[in-house]
Chains A and B, each alone.
Chain A
């Protein structure tokens, strides 16, 4: 089975976010970047499928030069090869991102394309489903259970208050949610091997951005409220001051 996993290099979730001096992005100077946590789950699922059924796992990212370190993390976990899509005019718009990824994926043979269900920077949860449409294949998002049997698949998708059981034909796009598996940590042998695995850099033009982030701001600051003495004072405040109960 040929599996492609699309990943993104994102700020660690422990990062404090500051706005850059242009006011339209974040200041990345003090931030450490990691493989997007949901993408770790996607890589793990690909490796499990390969271990069970044979095949090859290719990881793909679109991003700046430093995103190669997330590709190396995926290679150290056990992926076979990597593709780094590089662009001078990529602004992060989901549509343009998905188009560039789908164009590259379409040049390869694939049975399954896996994503994390969202990147923890932009939080749009959009690129996987868009890639599905651009490739003309079905997509199932927010998946917490996956079975592949020949050219058919069955996924459990998390919805409000339960799960949808979705049956689909391959090739397909799947986005992984926490709970699908427990991602492995790369071991020393994996890390050493990853250094020798191929990372193919491809220059791409990212065209057709449909949206622009024109400004970024910090959320309204919350200030500490009051410490109440006991439960009855708390109930009084909730009832008469906040009026929420």
Chain B
């Protein structure tokens, strides 16, 4: 029996979500009385292995294969399957990132495991994982219990806190065979001018229809830049073509849980609130004092965004820069 945590990396660096998943995996393993194995897959990724012990990995398995240089659904699932059986893993944790959300289901179908996706709370009962996860974009929370011997969960980024907890982190290399891959990543294209991803950002600054036109979004972008934040948008703004779909926050967009969410000229439609209500702190700036967004905001300013936001940006520059 062991808890297997997939270590995700990008551009030669481990992702922050990997440390979150390892910390969660450590806590699950302690409750089950078993060990944590971190699994690194890629091509020439040995140098990343040493950091994983710091966050609670007893063992770090490194599977190098030239076919795993880029992520592939089939290749990763096949490689992990062999590790799951060699390590007798009964709990597998991934991050609910683009990679984890794509991979976890394929893996589950391959090994006959149950899945709890995009989990925000993990516990153990009767020797098995129990997970809580938002459904209906956060309008309610489901408690998931498993009927399968092997239990898989993907963990929502930014929810589990990464904590250093040094364990042996003994590095072992494993042979992985990615098998026959029929869908291959040929290229990775970075989005133009985009600095930070919405679902992993610590601070999100979002704008809504109250900004009147696409060009006025610069006040949102300027504030985001000063805060090192990701830019989000309401559905109305995306549907109007002012902003790309990838920035939409809400039930048909991204669900975010940042430390700080600043909603600018967003009234707070129910599908938008569903996507951001799990943020730790919410600030609302809106000229309509009755806007529903104020009902969920920790701090609100009733005022014209075109006056308040540039002032806020300038004042924050003095404090932060």
**Known contacts A17-B136, A126-B115; A142/B260 CB under 8 A:** no
**Known contacts A95-B115, A130-B106, A164-B188; A141/B101 CB under 8 A:** yes
Assess whether B109 is in contact with A211, with CB atoms less than 8 Å apart: no
The chain B residue sitting closest to A94, CB to CB, is: B115
**15 contacts across the A-B interface (CB closer than 8 A):** A13-B250, A26-B140, A122-B135, A124-B115, A139-B183, A157-B102, A159-B99, A160-B199, A168-B184, A212-B146, A219-B277, A222-B295, A231-B315, A234-B301, A238-B299
- Majority DSSP secondary structure for residues of B touching A: mixed
Assess whether B280 is in contact with A133, with CB atoms less than 8 Å apart: no
Contact of A231 among B118, B295, B311 (CB under 8 A): B311
Chain A: number of interface residues, binned into ranges:
35 or more
A33 to B203, CA, bound (A): 34
Query: B187, B311, B320: which has the most chain A beta carbons within 10 Å?
Result: B187
Query: A13, A15, A142, A215: which has the most chain B beta carbons within 10 Å?
Result: A13
A121 to B294, CA, bound (A): 26
Assess whether B315 is in contact with A216, with CB atoms less than 8 Å apart: no
Q: Which of B165-197 contact A (CB under 8 A)?
A: 181-191, 194, 196-197
Contact of B143 among A94, A132, A214 (CB under 8 A): A214
**Known contacts A160-B98, A242-B298; A37/B183 CB under 8 A:** no
> Would you give the 0/1 interface string for A208-229, flagging 1 where the beta carbon is closer than 8 Å to chain B?
0111111111110011111110
Report which B residues bind A (CB closer than 8 A).
Answer: 10, 70-71, 73-74, 77, 97-99, 101-106, 108-110, 112-118, 133-148, 181-191, 194, 196-197, 199-200, 203, 227, 238, 244-246, 248, 250-253, 255, 259-260, 269-271, 274, 277-278, 280-283, 289, 294-302, 308, 311-312, 315-316, 319-320
Q: Return chain B residues, CB-CB under 8 Å to A161.
A: 190-191, 194, 196-197
**Known contacts A125-B117, A159-B99; A225/B200 CB under 8 A:** no
Q: Return chain A residues, CB-CB under 8 Å to B110.
A: 133
Assess whether B298 is in contact with A225, with CB atoms less than 8 Å apart: yes
Cβ of A158 within 8 Å of any chain B Cβ, yes or no, is yes
A20 to B32, CA, bound (A): 33
Q: Return chain B residues, CB-CB under 8 Å to A244.
A: 203, 259-260, 280-281
Assess whether A230 is in contact with B301, with CB atoms less than 8 Å apart: yes
Contact of B319 among A95, A128, A223, A245 (CB under 8 A): A245
Q: Return chain A residues, CB-CB under 8 Å to B255.
A: 123
A163 to B71, CA, bound (A): 12
Q: How many Å from the CB of A173 to the closest CB on chain B?
A: 9
Q: Return chain A residues, CB-CB under 8 Å to B280.
A: 244
Q: How many Å from the CB of B210 to the closest CB on chain A?
A: 17
Assess whether A17 is in contact with B140, with CB atoms less than 8 Å apart: yes
A173 to B74, CA, bound (A): 12
Q: Which of A191-215 contact B (CB under 8 A)?
A: 209-215
Contact of B105 among A14, A125, A178, A179 (CB under 8 A): A125
Report which A residues bind B (CB closer than 8 A).
Answer: 11, 13-17, 19, 26, 37-38, 93-95, 98, 120-134, 137-142, 144, 156-169, 172, 177-179, 209-219, 222-228, 230-232, 234-235, 237-239, 242, 244-245
Q: How many Å from the CB of B137 to the closest CB on chain A?
A: 6
Q: Return chain B residues, CB-CB under 8 Å to A168.
A: 182-184
Q: How many Å from the CB of A240 to the closest CB on chain B?
A: 11
Contact of A178 among B245, B274, B296, B312 (CB under 8 A): B245
The chain B residue sitting closest to A171, CB to CB, is: B182
Assess whether A121 is in contact with B109, with CB atoms less than 8 Å apart: no
Assess whether B191 is in contact with A219, with CB atoms less than 8 Å apart: no
Assess whether A235 is in contact with B312, with CB atoms less than 8 Å apart: yes
Q: How many Å from the CB of B115 to the closest CB on chain A?
A: 6
Contact of A215 among B143, B185, B250 (CB under 8 A): B143
